[in-house]
Amino acid sequence: MPQAPVTIDVQGNARTAPNREPETPYQKIAADLRGAILCGALRVGDKLPPVVEIANRYNVALGTAHRAIAELREAGLITASRGPRSVVGNPSKPCLPGADPGKTLHAI
């Protein structure tokens, strides 16, 4: 039986990490793109890859990629543009310490 991951807090105490539900594919895509935006790998005014390209790279249906993009729009991280691609808006949250924007892009 698999064991829950263990983390060490700042006082050096071992703690069992809570079991989390697996991320859905659209949540994974949105998290990767969100990380790239917040860390500066995608800057204000940059165009996101076409939805078809995102779907192909993550091996998901177009609807799944569209849902990830919609989540980013609702969060105010991207804006719709006149055309098939969305544009990065002005994120208000800084990049998390230790984040690697190159990894968050998942080769996009």
- pTM over 0.75, yes/no: no
Under a CB-based contact definition with an 8 Å cutoff, are residues 31 and 23 in contact? yes
The residue type at 56: N
What's the pLDDT at 83?
Answer: 60
Residue 19, φ and ψ in degrees, nearest 5:
-70, 130
Nearest partner of 93 among 45, 37, 42, judged by Cα = 37
Dihedral over Cα of 84, 55, 48, 92: its sign:
positive
The CA angle 4-30-55, to the nearest 5 degrees, is 110
Q: What is the pLDDT of residues 12-65, one digit of tens each?
A: 665 665 656 658 999 999 999 999 988 888 888 888 889 999 999 999 999 999
Residue-range domains of the chain with CATH: 25-90 (1.10.10.10)
